[in-house]
Amino acid sequence: MKSNLTQINSSSALVFNNPELFIEGWYWAIRSQDLKVGEVKPVTLQGRNLALYRGKDGNAIALDAYCPHMGAHLAEGKVEGNNIRCFFHHWEFNSSGNCVDIPCLGKALPVKLKTWHTAEKYGMVWVWTGDTPKQPLPFVPELENEECDFAFGSHFFKNCHPNVVMINAIDAHHFNTVHNFPIEIVFRKEELNENAITFSNTTRGGDESLLMKLILPFYKNEGTYSMCYWYGSTGTVTLGPDFLHFYIMFALRLVEGGKTEGQTILITKKRPGLFGWSFNRLILWLTLMVGNYFAKGDTKVFQTIKFNLKTPTKADQSIIQFIQHYEQQKPLVWGTWENPSTRRGEEAGVVYSACSS
Ligand code: FES
Ligand SMILES: [Fe+2]
């Protein structure tokens, strides 16, 4: 029997690297600081147009952008208390999307705007793209129960699909060829849940190189490098010596034409007092430097790549595992957030069984 590597390559994947589909999950919408109490902003998320506002209770509300009266964009409107009033004819909607007032009628009509679940973490407002959140917000596994400090890195665009950007972090071979790593990297995968998977480096070595001679005394075991993927679109990297791990989140979303918009978030655990606060500024700055080092080497290739892993080798095994994990998650259609047609679902079933054999 053929191995998984030859049974599946990226061209047999239906959802992976598909500009029309994405995985139901939490996606970053807007920085929390950019949505102040009383403000409403337009956000296009995974192709769907939303209006996000923050009522006087401080909660961020996400609703479909277009007014059910005549289609005005609600981000042109005004926040009133915890509700939003349309600019055009002043229809008012509450935070559940129900119409609660139509001034010229003196009463409301039974119309409702679709609203979406929101949550805030790491300085971002996140939106769940389905009806009921089934999994937590993306988090760094080591910091799951910690209070965190964070800073924003770059806001960027890439000329390829978020999945392609994501797998760069587990493209074992390119660490040697692009980033000049002196050791061979081999990952072990661990599925956290249906929508989250971690790849951790298992190797240590390269003691003969100067770089590793400098670094190795700081490591008890292998060099810590792991990547935790959420919904195949947000990844958190953990790396560094045992006494000081750096955490970088790459939060990506799929934009027009199968391309990527991303936001880098630098994270560390909260440390008490003024000293802790100052120390964290230094750590977050160092985290930014580490992140930039990794991002720099690949910038050009993402401008021109036409991703097609036609000839996977053993070093590409983690990428194949990522694709298999990705294909088993629930896809939605980019733009409408609807379920893809049943026919596509049946096709997908064929591939899933091939992956798991
Ligand atoms: S279009 Fe919104 S109230 Fe008329
Ligand atoms: Fe890279």
**What is the DSSP secondary-structure string of 122-156?**
TTEEEEESSSS--SPPP--GGGTTS-EEEEEEEEE
- Domain ranges for the chain, please list them: 36-117, 141-333
Higher pLDDT, 335 or 185: 335
Higher pLDDT, 209 or 45: 45
**Cα 54 to ligand 1 centre (Å):** 20
User: Which pLDDT score is estimated for 242?
Assistant: 76
Residues with CB under 6 A from ligand 1: 67, 69-70, 72, 86, 88-89, 91
CA of 60 to the centre of ligand 1 (A): 22
Nearest CA to ligand 1 atom 1: 70
The answer to whether 187 and 224 are in contact (CB under 8 A) is: no
Give yes or no for residue 76 having a pLDDT over 60: yes
Predicted pLDDT of residue 208: 54
Ligand nearest 93 Cα, by number? 1
Q: 39 near 46, Cβ under 8 Å? A: no
State which ligand 1 atom lies nearest to the alpha carbon of 74: 2
Q: How far is the CA of 66 from the centre of ligand 1 (A)?
A: 9
Q: Check whether 220 has a pLDDT greater than 70.
A: no
Q: What is the pLDDT of residue 206?
A: 53
For the chain, what is the mean pLDDT?
88
Q: What is the percentage of the chain residues whose pLDDT exceeds 90?
A: 75
Maximum average pLDDT range among 81-85, 139-143, 289-293, 294-298:
81-85
pLDDT at 125 over 50: yes
Pick the CATH number of 36-117 from 2.120.10.10, 3.30.2350.10, 3.40.50.300, 2.102.10.10: 2.102.10.10
In this structure, of 73-77, 103-107, 190-194, 343-347, the range with the lowest mean pLDDT score is 343-347
Give the percent of the chain with pLDDT over 70.
Answer: 87
Q: Which of 83-117 are b and which e, b meaning 16 or more Cβ less than 10 Å from the residue's Cβ? A: bbbbbeeebbbbbebbbebbeeeeeeeeeebebbe
Which ligand 1 atom lies nearest to the CA of residue 89? 3
CB 304 within 8 A of CB 159: yes
| One CATH from 3.20.190.10, 3.90.380.10, 3.40.50.970, 3.20.20.80 for 141-333 | 3.90.380.10
Predicted local distance difference test score (pLDDT) of residue 213: 54
The pLDDT tens digits for 9-46 are 556 678 999 999 999 999 999 999 999 999 999 999 99
Q: Which residues of 154-164 are buried (b: 16+ CB within 10 A; e: fewer)?
A: eebebebbbbb
Is the pLDDT at 347 greater than 80? The verdict is no
CA 170 to centroid of chain Cα atoms: 16
Nearest Cα to Cα of residue 160 among 309, 307, 323, 9: 307
Distance 210 CA to ligand 2 centre (A): 21
> Does 180 or 336 have the greater pLDDT score?
336
CA of 62 relative to ligand 1 center, distance in Å = 18
To test the ligand 1 pocket, which listed residue (74, 84, 89, 101) has its Cβ within 8 A of the most ligand atoms? 89
Q: What is the per-residue pLDDT across 108-117, written as a single tens digit (0 to 9) for each? A: 999 999 999 9
For a substitution probing ligand 1, which of 91, 93, 102 has the most ligand atoms within 8 Å of its CB? 91
Determine which of 44-53, 73-82, 203-212, 274-283 has the lowest per-residue pLDDT on average: 203-212
pLDDT exceeds cutoff 60 at 65: yes
- pLDDT for residue 5: 44
Q: 56 alpha carbon to ligand 1 midpoint, in Å?
A: 23
Rounded (10°) angle between helices 317-327 and 342-356: 140
pLDDT at 176: 86
CA of 8 from ligand 2 middle (Å) equals 23
Residues composing the chain = 357
Which of the listed residues 73, 74, 85, 88 should we mutate to test ligand 1's pocket, taking the one with most ligand atoms within 8 A of CB?
88
Task: Give me the mean pLDDT over the 135-164 stretch.
Answer: 95
Atom of ligand 1 nearest to the CA of 102: 3
- Helix, strand, coil proportions of the chain in percent (round to 5)? 30, 30, 40
Compute, in angstroms, the gap from residue 306 CA to the centroid of ligand 2: 16
Q: Which atom of ligand 1 is nearest to the CA of 71?
A: 1
Query: Does the pLDDT value for residue 209 go beyond 60?
Result: no
- Coil vs helix vs strand at 329: coil
Q: Is residue 215's pLDDT more than 60?
A: no
Of all protein residues, whose CA lies closest to atom 3 belonging to ligand 1?
Answer: 89
Angle at CA of residue 123, ends 117 and 127, nearest 5°: 20
Which comes out higher in pLDDT, residue 346 or 177?
Answer: 177
Per-residue pLDDT tens digits for 162-174 = 999 999 999 999 9
How distant is the alpha carbon of residue 107 from its chain centre? 42
Smallest CA separation from ligand 1 atom 4, residue: 89
Read off φ and ψ for residue 253, nearest 5 degrees. Answer: -145, 155
- How confident is the model at residue 327, as a pLDDT? 95
Q: Which pLDDT band holds residue 214 (cuts at 50, 70, 90)? A: low
Render pLDDT for 244-301 as a digit per residue (tens, 0 to 9): 899 999 999 999 999 999 999 999 999 999 999 999 999 999 999 988 887 788 888 9
- pTM score: 0.89
Query: What is the 92 CA–ligand 1 centroid distance (Å)?
Result: 9
Q: What is the pLDDT of residue 199?
A: 96
